[in-house]
Structure 1
Amino acid sequence: MSTEYIQAGILPFSLLLIGLWTSRIVYNLYFHPLSKIPGPWIAAITDVPYCPIIRIAPNEVAFNTAQAWRDIHTHRSGRQVFWKGKFYDGACFTAQEFNRGLSTIVSERRPEVHKQMRSSWASAFSERAIVEQEGLIATSADKFIRQVGIRGSREGGFDLAPLFEAMTFDVMGDLAFGKAFGALDMETRHPWVAAAIGSLMMAVLVDVLNHYPTLARGVVLLLNGKFKKALSDMRTNEKFVYETVKKRIETKTDRKDFLTRIVQERDPNVISDRQISAHSSDIVIAGSDTTAAGLSAIVYFLLSNPASLAKLKAEIRDTFEDYSQITYSSTISMKYLRAVIQEGLRISPPVSFPLPRDVPSGGETVDGHFLPGGVHVAVNTFATALSSANFHDPWSFKPERWIDPNNNDVLDSSQPFSLGPRVCIGRNVAWLELHVTLAKLFWVYDLELVDPTLDWHKEIRMVSLWKVPKLMIRARNRGVNIA
Structure 2
Amino acid sequence: MGFLNKGYVPLQAMDTDWIWTGSLILFLLLIGRSVFQIVYNLYFHPLSKIPGPWFSAVSNAPYCWWLLGGRQPYKMVGLHNKYGNTVRIAPNEVSFSTAQSWKDIYAHRPGHQVFVKGSFYDGGAFSVDGVRSIISETRPEVHKDMRTQLSSAFSERAVVEQEELVARSVDKCIRLIGIRGSTENGVDLSLILESMTFDVTGDLAFGDTFGALDSDTRHPWITKTMEGLSLAPFIDLLNHYPTVARVIRIVLHRQILKAQTNIKANEELCFETVRRRILKDTTRKDFLTRILEDRDKKAISDRQIAAHASDFIIAGSDTTATSLTATVYFLQKNPSSLARLVAEVRSAFSTYSEITNSSTMPLDYLRAVTLEGMRVFPPVPFALPRDVPKGGDTVDGHFVPEGTVVYTNPVAAGFSPSNFKDPWSFRPERWIDPDSTDSLDSIQPWSLGPRGCIGRPLAWLELRTTLAKLIWVYDLEIVDPDLDWHAEARMVSLWKKPSLMVRTRNRGVSLE
Q: 2:56 aligns with which of 31, 37, 43?
A: 43
1:210-249 equivalences in 2 (<5 Å): 210-220=239-249, 227-228=256-257, 230-249=259-278
User: What is the match of residue 366 of structure 2?
Assistant: 337
**Deviation of 1:435 (Å):** 0.3
Change (3 A) 1:56 1:225: farther
User: What is the match of residue 433 of structure 1?
Assistant: 462
User: What is the match of residue 85 of structure 1?
Assistant: 118
User: What is the match of residue 225 of structure 2?
Assistant: 196
What SS does the aligned partner of 1:330 have?
A: helix
User: What is the match of residue 11 of structure 1?
Assistant: 24
What SS does the aligned partner of 2:112 have?
A: coil
Are the aligned partners of 2:488 and 2:497 in contact in 1 as well (CA < 8 Å)? yes
Aligned equivalents of 2:389, 2:487: Cα separation in 1: 37
User: What is the match of residue 215 of structure 2?
Assistant: 186
**Deviation of 1:9 (Å):** 1.9
Change (3 A) 1:364 1:336: same
Unpaired runs of 5+ residues, structure 2, are: 1-11, 64-74, 80-86
**Deviation of 1:427 (Å):** 0.9
User: What is the match of residue 4 of structure 2?
Assistant: none
1:4-403 equivalences in 2 (<5 Å): 4-50=17-63, 51-52=75-76, 53=79, 54-95=87-128, 100-220=129-249, 227-228=256-257, 230-267=259-296, 270-403=299-432
**Deviation of 1:169 (Å):** 0.6
Give the letter aligned to residue 69 of structure 1.
W
Aligned equivalents of 2:394, 2:313: Cα separation in 1: 35
Are the aligned partners of 1:90 and 1:202 in contact in 2 as well (CA < 8 Å)? no
Aligned equivalents of 1:364, 1:201: Cα separation in 2: 33
Aligned equivalents of 1:434, 1:223: Cα separation in 2: 42
**Deviation of 1:110 (Å):** 0.5
**Deviation of 1:326 (Å):** 0.3
Percent identity at matched positions? 61
Change (3 A) 1:379 1:9: same
Aligned equivalents of 1:279, 1:417: Cα separation in 2: 17
Count of aligned pairs: 479
What SS does the aligned partner of 2:421 have?
A: coil
Give the letter aligned to residue 441 of structure 1.
L
Aligned equivalents of 2:401, 2:369: Cα separation in 1: 40
Aligned equivalents of 2:379, 2:388: Cα separation in 1: 25
Are the aligned partners of 1:88 and 1:203 in contact in 2 as well (CA < 8 Å)? no
Unpaired runs of 5+ residues, structure 1, are: none
Are the aligned partners of 1:87 and 1:204 in contact in 2 as well (CA < 8 Å)? no
Aligned equivalents of 1:332, 1:369: Cα separation in 2: 39
Are the aligned partners of 1:90 and 1:204 in contact in 2 as well (CA < 8 Å)? no
Aligned equivalents of 1:22, 1:193: Cα separation in 2: 47
Task: After superposition, give the CA deviation of every residue in 1:156-214 in whole Å (9 maximum; x if it has no partner).
Answer: 11211110000001111111111111111111111112112222234333211111123
Are the aligned partners of 2:126 and 2:132 in contact in 1 as well (CA < 8 Å)? yes
Q: 1:417 aligns with which of 435, 438, 446?
A: 446
Task: Choose 45-54 or 427-436, whichever is displaced more.
Answer: 45-54
Are the aligned partners of 1:294 and 1:345 in contact in 2 as well (CA < 8 Å)? yes
Aligned equivalents of 2:171, 2:133: Cα separation in 1: 31
Aligned equivalents of 1:232, 1:154: Cα separation in 2: 41
**Deviation of 1:227 (Å):** 3.6
Are the aligned partners of 2:149 and 2:298 in contact in 1 as well (CA < 8 Å)? no
Q: Which has the larger radius of gyration?
A: 2
Task: After superposition, give the CA deviation of every residue in 1:221-277 in whole Å (9 maximum; x if it has no partner).
Answer: 676676456424422321221111111100111111110011110138831111100
Aligned equivalents of 2:251, 2:55: Cα separation in 1: 24
Aligned equivalents of 1:285, 1:375: Cα separation in 2: 28
What SS does the aligned partner of 2:491 have?
A: strand
Are the aligned partners of 2:55 and 2:62 in contact in 1 as well (CA < 8 Å)? no
**Deviation of 1:387 (Å):** 1.0
What SS does the aligned partner of 1:83 have?
A: coil
**Deviation of 1:418 (Å):** 0.5
* RMSD, aligned CA: 1.5
Task: Choose 25-34 or 115-124, whichever is displaced more.
Answer: 25-34
What SS does the aligned partner of 2:502 have?
A: strand
What SS does the aligned partner of 1:482 have?
A: coil
Task: Choose 184-193 or 443-452, whichever is displaced more.
Answer: 184-193
